[in-house]
């Protein structure tokens, strides 16, 4: 009977140690490693965005101004909304 109790306690303590190791390991990963991984990923994405932005922008001399309009866009004021009639309120 004492052998059964001893084996039961050893198994129980082993289970508790495994749960504690998993818990503290997860806390360590989330608290210390995960932010560093996310920070490194964000810096990498920012660098890629900068490179893409530099490739898309044409090089112009400083001080030159150009106005570019989108070809498919129409001004809303050009639509024919009908005739506007001014009215007076009659008492």
Q: What pLDDT digit, counting tens, does each position of 1-16 carry?
A: 888 888 889 999 999 9
Under 8 Å between Cβ of 27 and 20: no
* CA 10 vs CA 4, 16, 21, 33, 62: distances in Å: 10, 10, 16, 33, 77
3-class DSSP state of 60: coil
Predicted structure pTM score: 0.43
pLDDT per residue over 38-83, tens digit each? 999 999 999 999 998 888 776 777 778 877 777 765 555 556 667 7
């Amino acid at each position: 009977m004492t052998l059964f109790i001893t084996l039961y306690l050893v198994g129980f303590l082993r289970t508790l140690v495994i749960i504690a190791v998993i818990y503290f390991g997860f806390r360590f990963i989330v608290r210390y490693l995960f932010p560093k991984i996310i920070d490194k990923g964000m810096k990498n994405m920012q660098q890629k965005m900068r490179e893409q932005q530099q490739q898309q922008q044409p090089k112009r001399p400083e001080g030159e101004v150009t106005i570019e309009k989108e070809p498919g866009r129409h001004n809303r004021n050009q639509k024919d909304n009908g005739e506007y009639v001014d009215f007076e309120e009659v008492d």
